[in-house]
Amino acid sequence: MLVSLFICPICQSPLFPAADTWRCDGSLNPKNVSHPFDVARQGYVNLLPVNQKKSKSPGDSSNSILARQRFLANAHYQPLRDLVCAQINALLSAKHSTGQTDKSSVDWLDIGCGEGYYTGAIAQTKGINSLIAADISKPAVIEVAKASKAAKRLWLDIDKQDDNKEAIYPIVTSAAHLPLSANSLTGITSIFSPILPTAFADVLQEGGYLVIAKPDIGHLTSVREALFDEVREHNSDKFLTELAPLFEVLDTQRISTELTLPAADLADLLTMTPYAYRAQPEKRQALLAKAAAASFNTEAKFVVYVLKKRPL
């Protein structure tokens, strides 16, 4: 059986990328038949079988993806992006300098990548060979594919002889059923995205890294105060308890940044967060009217955890 980074989401046999259609070799399929997955025009591959779709259009909607894309393009969250990349850089440089690995074997997954703002920057981290940009939302993955193509990092366009180019593979998948070989990845990022301890531990190598970004206590407080009568805090670190049997925490960094938001940016921020549908429409309108008169000030607060998979 040939080794492959990807596995078939239907029969778990090795799955091989190719320009037009990815095919599994069917070796684990009792009927010994291979499954084909067409490469979409934009260069992504849909590896989400219909029976894993819990709704017609799972994940973030096109509307929310495009709002996030506009908001992030205005660099409001750049300090977080820089911190995430610095953490990954530090992990990989330590690995490379101690000769634990070479670049060709470093494969990284950005799960719940959204429209790919962080993915594009992670791809520039020296020392990654393949970066899998995965999301359950098809409109999100289409945006990642377009951006990767524009940045000349789409897997289809990468010359494998060019050792300096990191290939991005945009795929539609559920975080719960990753179409990736067991123990294959050097690292995973989950930036405001689902965290599934067992599914992540399965695909990470021993000692593999998990980098998580979350909103911290006090994140966008003035926005939430304007929208809700009672402000609930983002202080749930329950996920750390769930991760603890499989992962140890190596580092925790907090970062905050002052935001001055014109009305259009504030409207995009509301559309890209769950506040959009939880807030009363009158409060939302009043907040946007305030921002139209003068930009709205708030503070974004994040926490970035670096974890390492424990030996089994």
Applying the rule CB under 5 A, the residues between 19 and 78 that interact with Zn ion are 24, 35
- Interacting partner of 11 out of Zn ion, ligand SAM, none (Cβ under 5 to 8 A depending on kind): Zn ion
Interior/surface letters 251-260, b for 16+ CB within 10 angstroms, e for the rest: eeeebeeebe
268 part of the interface to ligand SAM, by CB under 6 A: no
303 part of the interface to ligand SAM, by CB under 6 A: no
59 part of the interface to ligand SAM, by CB under 6 A: yes
**CA pair distance 40, 302, nearest whole angstrom:** 35
| Stretch of 89-97, 109-117, 150-158, 255-263 lying at the interface with ligand SAM (CB under 6 A) | 109-117
CB of 59 to ligand SAM, least distance (A): 3
168 part of the interface to ligand SAM, by CB under 6 A: no
108 part of the interface to ligand SAM, by CB under 6 A: no
- Interacting partner of 10 out of Zn ion, ligand SAM, none (Cβ under 5 to 8 A depending on kind): Zn ion
266 part of the interface to ligand SAM, by CB under 6 A: no
193 part of the interface to ligand SAM, by CB under 6 A: yes
8 part of the interface to Zn ion, by CB under 5 A: yes
- Interacting partner of 35 out of Zn ion, ligand SAM, none (Cβ under 5 to 8 A depending on kind): Zn ion
Please give the C-alpha separations between residue 239 and each of 245, 288, 309, in angstroms, as whole numbers. 11, 34, 15
194 part of the interface to ligand SAM, by CB under 6 A: yes
**Interacting residues of 42 by C-beta distance below 8 A, sequence separation 6+:** 142, 145, 146, 149, 170
CB of 268 to ligand SAM, least distance (A): 12
Bridge pairing between strands 21-24 and 14-16: antiparallel
CB of 134 to ligand SAM, least distance (A): 6
Among 45, 68, 265, 304, binds ligand SAM (CB under 6 A): 68
| Stretch of 4-12, 96-104, 107-115, 230-238 lying at the interface with ligand SAM (CB under 6 A) | 107-115
How many residues in the shown chain lie near ligand SAM by CB under 6 A? Answer: 20
135 part of the interface to ligand SAM, by CB under 6 A: yes
199 part of the interface to ligand SAM, by CB under 6 A: no
Among 92, 109, 128, 140, binds ligand SAM (CB under 6 A): 140
- Interacting partner of 24 out of Zn ion, ligand SAM, none (Cβ under 5 to 8 A depending on kind): Zn ion
Binding residues for Zn ion, per CB under 5 A?
Answer: 8, 10-11, 13, 24, 35
Binding residues for ligand SAM, per CB under 6 A?
Answer: 59-60, 68, 111-114, 117-118, 135-137, 140, 174-176, 191-194
